[in-house]
Structure 1
């Protein structure tokens, strides 16, 4: 079964980037600590990363994050989706206008200009098609940024929320949830490693 999974790293004080984030400073000031687990030698961290990347049939990201990963200092042959995993699912970008050109032209990019709900629907269709082609269940994954994940959860578009809780306080930056309606999630699992706490919740 294809699920819609929101998967993002977050600080203890609720930020997914530090302050002053931008195309040349994707994680913001001090934000590198959010992704320490991604580059860790801890076998549990490596397993979490591999399993998530391996199950990604399609990936949704916002335009701000796209500009970071497609920028000169972004993804390359060694570090891409899933860090060193360099996965190559379909990528769906939520944007008001499509870019004039794409640096990472070898990847499968689709630019959706009609809103997040439509982008998630496209990602689910792509993931379902990939599941049939590979004869195994693959997911539609929302990788960020914070506004995309937070809005999707609030809009009821997400089946599973995966948070990688980094043991850092950023003080300010890009918050994950702002003005969200109160709700209770069902905790599915919690895995503590030397670098983070991997939390998985299901949403009714």
Structure 2
């Protein structure tokens, strides 16, 4: 069974983006970002919610394009409308998640957002949490998990200190 790994930057107060989806408080470059970029090559599928996918539009992602061309990309949304020739799949719900874990091409990168992470964790499908912790307080925005009905139990499996109070922490979901 392929793991679902939530690999995301997070503030000290638990937000993956500030108000208006602002991510400017997170480092845009440096060793912690380089290591994240290297980890992306180990994922076979990118799974994201609508807001996470549409966030790419701010940076020039064309509608329907795959933000992770080396991966199969799936947007989970009941409302998004993409062109018929879109390079991403649209799932209206999570009913295909078990089959994806069983017969998909490999590890699944949950890249956001908080609502989707909450739904996947609540359903017991989240395998691992990889947090790029920034020493900032955002005070609001998109939480790491939203709508979490059953909080998962975590076991810390590693931590790397990148200096400047930047930490990379890994947790196994138990």
For normalisation by structure 2, the TM-score amounts to: 0.82
Of Structure 1 and Structure 2, which has the larger fraction of its residues in helix? 1
Structure 2 distance, partners of 1:140, 1:89, is 9
Which structure 1 residue ranges, 5 or more long, are not aligned? 22-27, 129-137
Which structure 2 residue ranges, 5 or more long, are not aligned? none
The answer (yes or no) to whether the contact 1:60–1:123 under 8 Å persists in 2 is no
Structure 2 distance, partners of 1:49, 1:183, is 26
Equivalent residue for 1:109? 88
- The CA RMSD measured in Å over matched residues stands at 2.7
Structure 2 distance, partners of 1:193, 1:55, is 21
The answer (yes or no) to whether the contact 1:7–1:161 under 8 Å persists in 2 is yes
Structure 1 distance, partners of 2:84, 2:135, is 35
1:197 pairs, out of 161, 167, 170, with 167
Structure 2 distance, partners of 1:126, 1:156, is 18
Structure 2 distance, partners of 1:72, 1:101, is 18
Equivalent residue for 1:32? 24
Equivalent residue for 2:59? 73
| 1:59-138 correspondence runs (5 A) | 59-69=46-56, 71=57, 73-75=59-61, 81=67, 87-101=69-83, 105=86, 108-113=87-92, 115-118=93-96, 120-121=97-98, 123-124=100-101, 127-128=104-105, 138=106
Equivalent residue for 1:171? 139
User: Residue 201 of structure 1: SS of its match in structure 2?
Assistant: strand
Q: Deviations over 1:98-138 (max 9, x none)?
A: 414289x5xx311011x1353x346436743xxxxxxxxx3
Closer, same or farther: CA 87–117 of 1 in aligned 2, 3 Å: same
